[in-house]
């Protein structure tokens, strides 16, 4: 990294993110459900096979979610495939996509937000438009699963737009390279 940047390690607390997700779940899901039910008549049947297929789809969605982070990093045009790592932290049950090379904070925000937009927000609109309980439940599952990303976005707000961000290779968090005010 260039010498006119100050390195700041940011370690995220998964428990804190999960607690915030629970609070948002209690606020967001009833409101979204009310809006969904207000504009549709709900009539459906569920079988064990339906539950199995839904949870299988969600499991695949989790993997696609992480791949979309990788796509977001690549779309920044600041990294190559070799700069991106995928994996699982089994003891914390966390899947991850990790960009090891610092990229602009705007590009990092885009890569963090991309899966939530494509797998969460877009299907929520599909649910309302097509009156689909599947897309409604899918979007809720994907948005809740992506809450850690929103937590990351929340922590990024403290940094100026000239900051560069790289994921931490050995902890749940990132390294912010902030412009040194002494060099400005």
Residue pLDDT, tens place only, 121-157: 999 888 878 877 788 888 888 988 888 888 899 899 9
Q: Select from 28, 41, 151, 32 the least CA-distant residue to 94.
A: 151
- Residue 179 falls within a domain, yes or no? no
- Residue 24 falls within a domain, yes or no? yes
- Residue 132 falls within a domain, yes or no? yes
- Residue 48 falls within a domain, yes or no? yes
Q: Using CA atoms, how far apart are residues 178 and 125, in angstroms rounded to an integer? A: 37
Residue-range definition of the domain harbouring residue 48: 13-157
- Residue 166 falls within a domain, yes or no? no
pLDDT digits over 7-50, tens only? 999 988 777 777 777 777 777 667 666 666 666 655 555 566 76
- Residue 184 falls within a domain, yes or no? no
Token pair belonging to 96: 């991850």
Q: How many domains does the chain have?
A: 1
What's this model's pTM, rounded to 2 decimal places?
A: 0.83
Query: What is the chain's alpha carbon radius of gyration, rounded to the nearest angstrom?
Result: 19
Q: Using CA atoms, how far apart are residues 95 and 91, in angstroms rounded to an integer? A: 11
């Amino acid at each position: 990294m260039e010498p006119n940047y100050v390195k700041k390690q940011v370690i995220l607390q998964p428990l804190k993110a999960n607690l915030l997700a629970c609070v948002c779940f209690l606020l967001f899901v009833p409101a979204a459900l009310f809006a969904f039910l207000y504009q549709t008549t709900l009539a459906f049947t569920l079988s064990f096979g339906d539950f199995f297929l839904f949870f299988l789809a969600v499991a695949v969605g989790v993997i696609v979610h992480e791949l979309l982070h990788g796509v977001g990093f690549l779309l920044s045009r600041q990294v190559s495939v070799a700069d991106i790592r995928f994996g699982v932290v089994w003891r914390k049950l966390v899947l991850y996509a990790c960009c090891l090379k610092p990229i602009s904070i705007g590009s990092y925000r885009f890569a963090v937000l991309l899966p939530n937009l494509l797998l969460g927000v877009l299907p929520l609109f599909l649910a309302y438009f097509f009156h689909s309980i599947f897309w409604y439940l899918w979007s809720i599952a994907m948005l809740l699963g992506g809450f850690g990303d929103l937590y990351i976005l929340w922590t990024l707000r403290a940094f100026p737009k000239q900051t560069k961000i790289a994921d931490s290779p050995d902890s749940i968090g990132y390294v912010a390279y902030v412009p040194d005010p002494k060099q400005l």
